Chain A
Amino acid sequence: DQQVKQNSPSLSVQEGRISILNCDYTNSMFDYFLWYKKYPAEGPTFLISISSIKDKNEDGRFTVFLNKSAKHLSLHIVPSQPGDSAVYFCAAVNAGGTSYGKLTFGQGTILTVHP
């Protein structure tokens, strides 16, 4: 049972346009959500996060939106750059107790930004 789902395996956008990556979750115990970025032959790196008490978090060109009622989050990248081309993983966690390191990841979305 996939508790975190990214239904789009890939996304292709033009440089300068907006990239929107989507993620859905089913477990109501998740209270912290993150996006990780992964380049080939490297480990994933943390990109941006959001707590369940917020509905938006912004960091430069990256904004994450959380819709708790729909159990949906999205990552917006504006403007998209060729260097953003990577695999993006959505992740969720129950941040309480000793569970704060036990992330549940989505399948990943391959983003390609064309010059």
Chain B
Amino acid sequence: NAGVTQTPKFQVLKTGQSMTLQCAQDMNHEYMSWYRQDPGMGLRLIHYSVGAGITDQGEVPNGYNVSRSTTEDFPLRLLSAAPSQTSVYFCASVGGPGELFFGEGSRLTVL
């Protein structure tokens, strides 16, 4: 029962580097999303997708890019990493109104 799988779990980047956080779900949900968690800020929505080929911006989309070529996968790309992007990133698959299934998270540090 994999659910939502995120890789990598940990990553250290230098300012200006790019990378992709991978997310895959096996629940056949159309709706997926990416959140970041920062101390004192809760979880904030970065990007979301309501189905393959459809993506839209959330509350904090700047510096991130997404695509959705299949139902299963929803990768998050950091184009040019900045220290402000140091955070814990959670991918979620949406089963119903408000019912999110989260991955275990990816902890990113940008030096």
Contacts and interface: CB of A to CB of B under 8 A. Distances in A.
Given A32-B97, A102-B58, A45 B102 contact: yes
A98 to B, nearest CB: 5
B100 A103 contact: yes
Interface of A: 4, 6, 9, 32-34, 36, 41-46, 49, 89, 91, 93, 95, 98, 100-108
Interface stretch (B13-21, B38-46, B65-73, B77-85): B38-46
Contact of A43 (B50, B59, B102): B102
A9 B41 CA distance: 11
A102 B46 CA distance: 10
By secondary structure, the B interface counts as strand
A32 B100 CA distance: 13
Interface of B: 4, 31, 33, 35, 40-45, 48, 50, 58-59, 90, 92, 94, 96-105
Contacts of B97: 32, 93, 95, 100
B48 A107 contact: no
Contacts of B33: 101-102
B98 A93 contact: yes
B24 to A, nearest CB: 14
Given A43-B104, A46-B99, A100 B44 contact: no
A46 B101 CA distance: 8
29 contacts: A6-B42, A32-B97, A32-B98, A34-B98, A41-B104, A42-B104, A42-B105, A43-B4, A43-B103, A43-B105, A44-B43, A44-B102, A45-B102, A46-B100, A89-B43, A91-B98, A93-B97, A100-B31, A100-B94, A100-B97, A101-B31, A101-B48, A101-B94, A102-B45, A103-B43, A103-B98, A105-B35, A105-B42, A105-B43
A14 B94 CA distance: 35
A100 B98 contact: yes
Contact of B98 (A43, A95, A98, A107): A95
